[in-house]
Structure 1
Amino acid sequence: MSESALPPPLPDNHDITVGKHPCAACGGDMLWDARRQLLRCPYCGQQAAWAPAAAPLPGQDGIAELDLEQALASAGSQRGWGEARREVRCQSCQAVSVFEGHRVAQRCEFCGSPAIIDHQASEDAITPGSLLPFQHDQAQVRDLLRRWYASRRFAPGSLRRAALTDTLHGIYLPYWTFDAQVDARWSAQAGHYYYVPVTVRGANGTTSTRMERRVRWVPASGRLQHFFDDLAQCASSGVHTNLLQQIEPYPFKQLRPYSSEYVRGWTVERYQLDLRSAARQAAERMQQQTRQRCAAQVPGDTHRNLQMQAHYSGRTFKHVLVPVWLVTYRYGRKSYQVAVNGYTGVVAGERPYSVWKILGAVLAVLAVLGLLWLLLR
């Protein structure tokens, strides 16, 4: 695969995102260029500067915070893609991708499985309202991957050849973000350490004095007010969760209003975690974090019997897309993934280990220890 600034034009039997922007020079479909941050024709190289039109959404940045309770209670107006789309599901990893109606997919972009079937598009699917556009292009990411693979100790010698074949894909992953204001009141028993001298008699009959720690318990109470801003909940099923956690966080303050121009030439995954389930998981995380913050307010050295009553208000959400470069490769009988944050360039991955390299390192250490032992005799 050539290391151009854009993904190469894909044939009709590959995954392509929806929508078109014809090139004024040759009529080809212009794609979003991550390095140049503009539209570029992959056939003739024609470039077109582009910026989103002023969005009729609240806020100076055009990013709307949607009322969560209202969205959960009704179908709302932010649902349905609004144009002909086609969805396919991978029977292996269960990822669902959204494409132009006339396009088909032969292999899954996430795991490489050929087990691709049509998926019934949901009429009330919530459309993304904002996204983080790709900032790193394919050539830049391949450089990042080379350095990452080179730093993997005890990896098989053929790993880089196996992993850096034509399996690098740029994908927009779905996320939910949640905001909420919490007002929590708490009560607990605060423990304060103090020390008293204790005489201890030894086995031989001698005595000694040591300081023993005790705890003085006193009642305590307080109030916590905190604003949860853009608590992120990933809605992808195609990328391994542990990898996504390692390449986070995403700078959601840099979000741009969604426009199809940003995703031209890139695969988009449809969310697999719906809004209701994501909101429930986010609420559990907020409750857990609120409890931790309340616990941190308890004075003293320790605490017990923490009781908390929390009230959440102003609950809003956003459906956003974030950029990820993904390598999926097989080594032996196992499949591995390497993910790159398409905005920040952070890399995280899975890799096999070479038993022979590990054994060689162990033998080398034993040889050095043996030599030292002989020298010190």
Structure 2
Amino acid sequence: MPEVTAISKFACPACGAEAVWTPSKKALVCPYCSTVSPAELKADGTLVEENDLVTALRAIPDDQRGWAAERKTVKCQSCHAISVFDEKRVAQRCDFCGSPSIIAMEDVGTPIRPGSQLPFKVPETQVREDIRRWYGSHFWAPNKLGEKALTDTLHGMYLPYWTFDAHAECPWEAEAGHYYYTTNSKGERTRHTRWEYASGHVSTDFDDVLVPASKGVHTKLLEELQPFPTTSDLLPYDPGYLSGWVVEQYQIDLIQGAQDSRQRMDDLLRAQCVAQIPGDTHRNLRISPDYSAQTFKHILLPVWLLSYTYGTKNYQVAVNGSTGKITGEYPLSWVKITIAIIIALIILIAIAAAQN
């Protein structure tokens, strides 16, 4: 499995000769032994190579591990995030939760090297202004949230993700339900369901199914940050792009990521199968997906992360470093909630009294 580099030549994984891009196959094809290596062709003509998933799950070569640059790695004892940054930097607190309980780690079990990354597009000044507005946009949050929350802990970082591609052939079977109605002697209509066997077949391609590999940012926030323009704007990995930035080392490994992606693909297939079922409702849907041409990429995506404290509790706000989309956690004002409940009760009592 060839190393993903920032150069335009790609070696054949079978014989070592230079593979060439073949539009008809949408892949790199060796002109000597005909070995096919999946890849993505970007608009500017550069390639971001896909890696065969089955081969990778067996073994990742040592020359595709590590960061290709001197980096320092620490692990937070509080949130368990693993941060990677420039060797000369001295870290005193965790960039993800603000805890001072961080310890240095040796590179035991060197991680798979990223194949590509998405550069930051949204500047820090804009992010800080957006977060200030975000503080004031939540009615149920305390009025003084923007004043009391600690806003000096904004960090730009690259988070690890896996992307997976696959082709799926999926036969399905189900019972399709068709509604019909009867009317009794009183003119009352009753709905019934007539069930009948149904079957079909879905054929589809999955492209860049995104699976977060971070544990430093809360899962719900990672899902809400999407979408990222992963296919269109990815650049081949270059350690120079990471200079001055914090990078989180993945803690959802390739095996876990592949399992997660399979579940996501199964769910999407199930929805496509449901769309094919005739009638008004269905039951007992059974799908039998068969996956082929499975490839993956390990990529780094840009996120601005703010960890703030309100009262005694820590919260996170995350901003998509490419699109500017913002999502976050915030405390609830129990004063506002209590007043709302009292007002609702007064209204209900007034309505009940009026009816009597």
Q: TM-score, normalised by structure 2?
A: 0.81
Q: CA deviation at 1:53?
A: 5.9
Q: 1:211 to 1:249 in 2, by over 3 A?
A: same
1:319 aligned to 2:298?
yes
Helix, strand or coil: the match of 1:273?
Answer: coil
Helix, strand or coil: the match of 1:209?
Answer: coil
Task: Write out aligned runs for 1:65-144 (5 A).
Answer: 65-76=50-61, 77-144=63-130
Q: CA deviation at 1:318?
A: 0.7
1:355 aligned to 2:322?
no
2:325 paired residue among 302, 323, 346: 346
Task: Write out aligned runs for 1:219-234 (5 A).
Answer: 219-234=197-212
* Contact residue 180 and residue 314 of structure 1 kept, 8 A: yes
Partner of 2:20: none
* Contact residue 6 and residue 236 of structure 2 kept, 8 A: no
2:285 paired residue among 306, 309, 316: 306
Q: Deviations over 1:322-359 (max 9, x none)?
A: 11111111111111111111111111111112333444
Partner of 2:227: 249
Q: What amino acid is aligned across from residue 195 of structure 1 in structure 2?
A: Y
**Take 1:257 and 1:336, find their aligned partners in 2: how far apart are those partners?**
33
Count of aligned residue pairs for this structure pair: 318
Q: CA deviation at 1:100?
A: 3.3
Partner of 1:210: 188
Partner of 1:170: 156
1:149 paired residue among 135, 147, 150: 135
Q: CA deviation at 1:366?
A: 8.1
* Contact residue 158 and residue 303 of structure 2 kept, 8 A: yes
Q: Deviations over 1:30-53 (max 9, x none)?
A: xxxxxxxxxxxxxxxxxxxxxx96
* Contact residue 85 and residue 245 of structure 2 kept, 8 A: no
Q: CA RMSD in A?
A: 2.8
Task: Write out aligned runs for 1:41-80 (5 A).
Answer: 54-56=7-9, 58=39, 59=41, 60-76=45-61, 77-80=63-66
* Contact residue 80 and residue 123 of structure 1 kept, 8 A: no
* Contact residue 302 and residue 320 of structure 2 kept, 8 A: yes
* Contact residue 176 and residue 196 of structure 2 kept, 8 A: yes
Q: 1:81 to 1:265 in 2, by over 3 A?
A: closer
Partner of 1:12: none
Q: 1:367 to 1:213 in 2, by over 3 A?
A: closer
Q: Deviations over 1:291-318 (max 9, x none)?
A: 2221221111122232222110000111
**Take 1:322 and 1:142, find their aligned partners in 2: how far apart are those partners?**
19
**Take 2:277 and 2:346, find their aligned partners in 1: how far apart are those partners?**
55
Partner of 1:272: 251
**Take 1:222 and 1:166, find their aligned partners in 2: how far apart are those partners?**
56
Q: 1:163 to 1:342 in 2, by over 3 A?
A: farther
**Take 2:202 and 2:84, find their aligned partners in 1: how far apart are those partners?**
43
Q: 1:306 to 1:359 in 2, by over 3 A?
A: closer
Helix, strand or coil: the match of 2:289?
Answer: strand
* Contact residue 80 and residue 122 of structure 1 kept, 8 A: no
Partner of 2:267: 288
Q: CA deviation at 1:360?
A: 5.2
Helix, strand or coil: the match of 2:147?
Answer: helix
Percent same amino acid among aligned pairs? 49
1:259 paired residue among 238, 242, 257: 238
**Take 2:206 and 2:6, find their aligned partners in 1: how far apart are those partners?**
30
Q: CA deviation at 1:233?
A: 0.5
* Contact residue 168 and residue 289 of structure 2 kept, 8 A: yes
Q: What amino acid is aligned across from residue 93 of structure 1 in structure 2?
A: C
Larger Rg: 1
Q: What amino acid is aligned across from residue 71 of structure 1 in structure 2?
A: A
Q: Deviations over 1:195-252 (max 9, x none)?
A: 22234xxxxxxxx132222222222211110111111110001111111222211111
**Take 1:146 and 1:330, find their aligned partners in 2: how far apart are those partners?**
15
Q: TM-score, normalised by structure 1?
A: 0.77
